[in-house]
Chains A and B, each alone.
Chain A
Amino acid sequence: MAWLFVRLKLRLIAGNLRGDTMRQIGYAFTLAGALAIAGGGFALLALLRTAPADLALNVCVVMFTALTVIWLVGPLMVFGVDETVDPARLALFPLTARQAALGMFAASAAGPWPLASLVLSLGAVAGLARGPAAVPIGLVAVVLHVAICLVASRALTTALSGVLRTRRGRDLLAIGVVLVILLTQVPNLVLNQGIGGDPREYLAGVTSVLRWTPPGMAAHAIADGGLVALAELAVLALVLLVLVELWTAALRRAMVTSDASTQVGSVRRGRLEGVLPGGALGAVVAKELKYLRREPRGRMGWVAAVGFSIVMMFSLGGRNGMDGPALAVVVPCLAALMIGLQASNAFGIDGRALWMNALVYTGARDIRTDFAGRHLAVSLVAVPLLAVLSVTAALVAGDPAAAPAALLTATGLLLVALGVGSVVSVVLPYTYPERVNAFTSAAPGQGGVAFAGSFGSMLATGSLALPVVVPVLLGFTWVALLGVPYGLAVAAGGRRLASGIGYARLPDLLAAVSRPS
C-alpha cells in the first residue's frame, strides 16, 4: 500500500512536469533549493561541534523548532499543490483510515523537502552527539523528529481540509498567511530593539522553554546521549503515536464530511451607491471598493502593505537607526508604494470576468473612466490609511510636525504608482491563479510576465517619484506640497496612455487575464 502511494506521488510529479518547460525549470529550482537547504543545514549544524556545548544545543533547539513550525505552516500555504494530501480524492477507494494514513504518510515522505529535512536534521547528530551511545540515540531521535514534523503537518492539513475546501476558509487562510509571515519578523524586531539584552542570553531564555517541546527534546536527546535521552525518545515516540491517532481520526471524519461552502450568508445591500456619482465611473468605484473588501488577494496585499510598513517603522527606528522627519516620510511612502504596486495588474483581479467590460467598452474613453474609477477607489481607502501611518510614524520619530509632509509625499507617490500601474496593466497583463497561494502569483507560464510587470512598475514608480521624495528626505520639506499635483498629473498621463494602448489590444488583454490556472 505504502509503495503504491509513493509511486502515485512520483507519477503525479512526473505528469505535472510533462511538456511544460516553465514547470520543469520551476521544479529544477525546487530541487536545487532542497539540495542547498539539505547541504547547508547539515553543514551548519555539523559546524556546531566547534561551538561551546550549551550554545550548540540552544542553536539546535531553535533550528528543530523552526523546522517543525515550517512543516506545520508551509503546507497550509500551498494546499492544493499536492493531490496526495487531499483526503477527498481517496474517499471513493475501499481503504480503511489506517491504510489511507499509512499511504499518505509514505507519499508525503517521498519528495525533495522531507528528504532535505532529514539530511538537515542528521547534521545535528554530526554536530551535537558526543560519545559512542549518542550516535544511535541521535539517529533515532532524528527519524522521530522528522516523522513528527510530517505527521503533525498532515494531521493539521487533514483536520483543516474541510475548511480549506470552502471558499470562506481559503479566504481567511490567505490573511492568516500574511500574518504568519509578518510574525516571523517579531524576533528580529525584539533583537533590534535590544529588549532581550545580550543575544546569547536572549537565546538561552527562549530555548529554556522550547527545550521541552518535541523538537527541543529531540535536539536535547542527541546532545545528551544518556538515560535522559532514552526517556526523551520514549516521549517522542508517544507524541508520534498520539499524532498518528489524531490524524487517523481526522482522516476518518474528513472522508465523510461535505463541502458546505455555498451555505453562507448574504452581503449587506450597499449604502455606498447613494453617495457615489452615477454612471460608469460610480459603478467602477463601487465595484472596486467591494472587491477591496471581499477579494482575499486584495486584502492580503493591503494587510501586507500596512504590516510591512509598521515592521519597518520599528526596525528602521531602532537603536542607532533613522529618526526625525526622514523616518516619518519613509514609512508611509513604503506603504504607498506597496499599495500602489498592487495596481500593476489591474485587470488581473477581474480575471475571466473582464469580458463583461470588454463587451461594453467602445473606445479608449471608456477604459480611461474604468482606470479613473479604480484609482479613485484605491485613493478613497489608501489616503486615510496613509494619514494614520504618517501621524504614527511622525510620533514614533519624535517629530509630529513632519506628519503633513509625510502624508503629502506618500499620497504623491501612491498616485505616481497608480499612473505607472495603469500602463503596466495594459502592457504586461497576466492571470492570477484561482487559488490564493503564497508562493506563485501568476498562472503557469506567466511567471516571467508577472515578474517583469512588478519589477518594471517598481523601477518606473521609483524613478518617477524621485523628484519629490528625495528632496523631502533631504530636508526640503516644502517640496512635499508639489507631491499631490505632480502625482495627479502622472496618474492622469498614465490613464491617457494606458487607455489608448488598452483599447487597441482589448481582446489580447482578455486572453492574457483568462488563462487556465
Chain B
Amino acid sequence: MSEFPSAPAPGEPVPAVRTHGLVKRFGAQTAVDRVDLVVPRGSFAGLVGPNGAGKTTTLSMITGLLVPDAGSAQVAGIDVWRDPAAVKARVGVLPEGLRLFERLSGRELLLYNGQIRGIPREEVARRAEELLRVMDLAASADKLVVDYSTGMRKKIALAAALLHNPEALFLDEPFEGVDPVSANTLVEVLRRYTASGSTVVFSSHVMDLVERLCDWVSVMNHGRIVAQGPLAEVRGNSTLNEALLQLVGARDHGEEGLTWLGSSSA
C-alpha cells in the first residue's frame, strides 16, 4: 500500500487532474473533506469507494458543475474555477443520473451538443453519425431519449461527451445498469480513447471492472482519499475488492440471525 504521491517532483509532466484540499459541505454534513486527487496524464483511472464516499461530489467540482467551499482543482494544469472556459473546452463529462435533454432524439442531442460547442454543423453531423454507428445506436438514432433504455442512455451520453474530442473524460458510474453488450461497446471505445494518450477518470462500484480496465486507482471513504496510486500498488497482493474492504474498514455481520432463511419450511 503506497502513501499517496500527491506532489510530483519538478520536471515531471503536469498531471491530467490535480486537486488541492477540495471541500464541500451540505448543511452539517461534509461530503468532501480536503481531497487531494491526482490523476497522471494518459491514465485510465478509477475512483472507487462505498456509497456516500463523495465520489460524485468530487467529480462535479472538478468539472465545474458544483462550486467547492474550499480548495482548488486543476485540469491539465488549468485552474477550473479561475479559467472555466479553457477547462470546459478540454473535458467531456458523463454525470450521474443520466440527465439528458429527454425530448430530443439521440441524433438531435448530438447535433445540439456539438453546435453549442461551436463545431461547424457539417463536422458535427459527420462525427455524430460515426459515434452513433460505433455505439450501436444507429437504429435508435431517431427515437426520443426519454424512451431509451439505461444502456442506450449511457451510450448516447458518452457519445455526447466525446463529440468535441476532449483531453480528459470524467464518467460517473458509466457501467451502472448497463447490459453486458453495451458495457463491452463502452469499454472498447474508452480503451481506444486512452490508447491515444487521453485521460479517463471514472467512478464505479464494480471492482472487477476497475481492476480489469484501470492502471490508476483512487480510493475514497467518508469524503477523503484513503489510498491512491498505480493499481498494482494500491491492491498489493490481494484483489482490489479485498484491498477496498480493508481500506474502508467493512464490518463483519457474522453468522448469527437469519436462522429461518433457507429451510423453506414456511
Using a CB–CB cutoff of 8 Å, the interface residues on chain A facing chain B are: 167, 261-262, 264-270, 273, 278-280, 282-284, 286-287, 290-291, 294-295, 350-353, 355-363, 366, 507-508, 510-511, 514
Tell me if B70 is interfacial: C-beta within 8 Å of chain A.
Answer: no
Flag if B107 contacts A280 (CB, 8 Å): no
Give 30 pairs: A residue, B residue, CB < 8 Å, sorted on A: A167-B147, A262-B147, A262-B148, A266-B142, A266-B143, A267-B142, A270-B108, A280-B115, A283-B112, A283-B115, A283-B116, A286-B111, A286-B112, A287-B104, A287-B108, A290-B103, A290-B104, A351-B99, A353-B101, A353-B102, A356-B99, A356-B100, A359-B63, A362-B89, A363-B85, A366-B116, A507-B65, A507-B66, A507-B67, A511-B66
Which A-B residue pairs are the 9 nearest by beta carbons?
A362-B85, A283-B115, A352-B99, A266-B142, A294-B103, A353-B101, A280-B116, A278-B121, A262-B147
Size of B's binding interface in residues, CB under 8 A = 40
Candidates A266, A270, A278, A360; contact of B120 at CB < 8 Å: A278
Flag if A279 contacts B118 (CB, 8 Å): yes
* Cβ proximity bits B103-140 to A, threshold 8 Å, 1 near / 0 not: 11101100111011110110000000000000000001
CA gap between A507 and B65 in the complex, in Å = 6
Apart from A282-B121, A287-B112, A291-B103, 12 more pairs, CB < 8 Å:
A269-B142, A279-B115, A280-B115, A284-B116, A290-B108, A351-B99, A355-B99, A358-B65, A359-B88, A359-B93, A366-B116, A510-B65
Flag if B144 contacts A355 (CB, 8 Å): no
- Residues on B with C-beta less than 8 A from A514 are 99
Tell me if B97 is interfacial: C-beta within 8 Å of chain A.
Answer: yes
Flag if B149 contacts A266 (CB, 8 Å): no
Candidates B64, B67, B105, B121; contact of A267 at CB < 8 Å: B105
The smallest beta-carbon distance between A151 and chain B, in angstroms, is 34
Known: A283-B111, A360-B116. A355 touches B142 (CB 8 A): no
- Residues on B with C-beta less than 8 A from A362 are 84-85, 88-89
Known: A290-B108, A359-B93. A267 touches B118 (CB 8 A): no
Flag if A353 contacts B115 (CB, 8 Å): no
- Residues on B with C-beta less than 8 A from A291 are 103
Flag if A282 contacts B144 (CB, 8 Å): no
Flag if B143 contacts A267 (CB, 8 Å): yes
Tell me if B223 is interfacial: C-beta within 8 Å of chain A.
Answer: no
Flag if A356 contacts B105 (CB, 8 Å): no
Tell me if B146 is interfacial: C-beta within 8 Å of chain A.
Answer: yes
The smallest beta-carbon distance between A168 and chain B, in angstroms, is 9
Closest chain B residue, CB of each to CB of A349 = B103
Tell me if B229 is interfacial: C-beta within 8 Å of chain A.
Answer: no
Count of A-B contacts with CB under 8 A?
Answer: 100
Candidates B63, B97, B116, B121; contact of A357 at CB < 8 Å: B116
- Residues on B with C-beta less than 8 A from A273 are 111, 121
Closest chain A residue, CB of each to CB of B140 = A266
CA gap between A268 and B142 in the complex, in Å = 7
Most buried by B among A266, A268, A278: A266
- Residues on B with C-beta less than 8 A from A264 are 143-144, 147
Tell me if B95 is interfacial: C-beta within 8 Å of chain A.
Answer: yes
Flag if A355 contacts B115 (CB, 8 Å): no
Closest chain A residue, CB of each to CB of B164 = A360
Flag if A287 contacts B149 (CB, 8 Å): no
Flag if B65 contacts A295 (CB, 8 Å): no
Tell me if B169 is interfacial: C-beta within 8 Å of chain A.
Answer: no
Known: A262-B147, A362-B85, A510-B65. A356 touches B160 (CB 8 A): yes
Flag if B101 contacts A350 (CB, 8 Å): yes
Closest chain A residue, CB of each to CB of B142 = A266
Candidates B101, B105, B142, B149; contact of A262 at CB < 8 Å: B149
- Residues on A with C-beta less than 8 A from B65 are 355, 358-359, 507, 510
Flag if B93 contacts A280 (CB, 8 Å): no
- Residues on B with C-beta less than 8 A from A357 are 116
The smallest beta-carbon distance between A179 and chain B, in angstroms, is 21
CA gap between A280 and B117 in the complex, in Å = 7
- Residues on A with C-beta less than 8 A from B148 are 262
CA gap between A356 and B100 in the complex, in Å = 8
Candidates B84, B99, B140, B142; contact of A353 at CB < 8 Å: B99
CA gap between A265 and B91 in the complex, in Å = 34
